[in-house]
Amino acid sequence: MQNPTFEIKAMRASYGAKEVLKGIDINILSNSVTAIIGPSGCGKSTFIRSLNRINDLIPNFHASGDILYRGEDIYSGDVDVVDLRRRIGMVFQKPNPFPKSIYDNIAYVLRVHGFDMREMIDEIVEKSLRKAALWDEVKDNLKQNALTLSGGQQQRLCIARTLAIEPEVLLFDEPCSALDPISTAKVEELIHQLKQNYTIVIVTHNMQQAARVSDHSAFFLMGELIEFGKTQDIFTKPVDARTEAYITGRFG
């Protein structure tokens, strides 16, 4: 069995004095989809946002414990956070394309990372949009403002933008919660395809979604990891009574 992408031991996280993750131990396996499930407020977003250190933007946020990415402690002093975030892509709950054209949303990212040849940028824009299953819908309107796209298209543009810089991991924080069922199905299909090349972590509080897209599931409750295992096992024979209560819809 291959090495885990993330090895997390005794991870704690807090906002000011409020501790929201209380000692999480989990291994995230390579080239598989790991779903994080649990009722809202249990710390799912905090967890996933710690993995690419985007939570550093929140002034009073603090994380401790071991969070090893490919064996390297990402919270140690000498990690290049900017590079880390390039390698660990993230798609947010609310689609957040920049108020620029579809083309520029992707080209911007490429320019930030030092690409400046026009043909190369054109090529990657097309490739990323194809990977995100958006190319056919927008290929004639690349100059159109991204904010005029539908929510589902915006979200796929955000995925394309992330794919453009070839990350190693994709983090999704409830990527479909703002989308209609058809867009949701498209994004799920996309995640299914991306799985072959990426390690994926997806937060969702839609149980069916977790069951459909993930290989492993982790159930969080009030800042603790209650149960972690193969998605099939979690959904068919949960060990912990609280997990069972949650997946059968008795709370949350």
Ligand X SMILES: Nc1ncnc2c1ncn2[C@@H]1O[C@H](COP(=O)(O)OP(=O)(O)O)[C@@H](O)[C@H]1O
- Identify the residue among 109, 176, 187, 207 touching another protein (CB under 8 A): 109
Rounded CA-CA distance 218/225 in Å is 7
* Residue 77 in tokens: 């002093």
* 83 lies in the site for another protein, by CB under 8 A: yes
Strands 61-69 and 72-73: antiparallel
Residues 43, 21 contacting (CB under 8 angstroms): yes
* 120 lies in the site for ligand X, by CB under 6 A: no
* 129 lies in the site for ligand X, by CB under 6 A: no
**Shortest reach from residue 160's CB to ligand X, in Å:** 24
* 42 lies in the site for ligand X, by CB under 6 A: yes
* 45 lies in the site for Mg ion, by CB under 5 A: yes
Q: Which of 217, 223, 222 is nearest to 239 (CA)?
A: 217
**Shortest reach from residue 40's CB to Mg ion, in Å:** 7
CA 249 distance to own-chain centroid: 24
* 161 lies in the site for another protein, by CB under 8 A: yes
Four-residue CA torsion sign, 13, 16, 20, 23: positive
Which one, 146 or 221, has the nearer CB to another protein? 146
**Shortest reach from residue 252's CB to another protein, in Å:** 26
Those residues with Cβ within 8 angstroms of residue 187's Cβ, 6 or more apart along the chain or in another chain:
152, 155, 156, 159, 175, 176, 179
SS3 123: helix
Q: What DSSP element (H or E) covers 130?
A: helix 118-131
Which one, 162 or 243, has the nearer CB to another protein? 162
Q: Which does 20 bind (CB under 5 to 8 A by kind): Mg ion, another protein, ligand X, none?
A: ligand X
Rounded CA-CA distance 5/200 in Å is 10
* 98 lies in the site for another protein, by CB under 8 A: yes
Q: Which does 59 bind (CB under 5 to 8 A by kind): Mg ion, another protein, ligand X, none?
A: another protein
- Identify the residue among 20, 79, 84, 178 touching ligand X (CB under 6 A): 20
* 62 lies in the site for another protein, by CB under 8 A: no
Q: Which residues bind ligand X (CB under 6 A)?
A: 15, 18, 20, 38, 40-46, 58
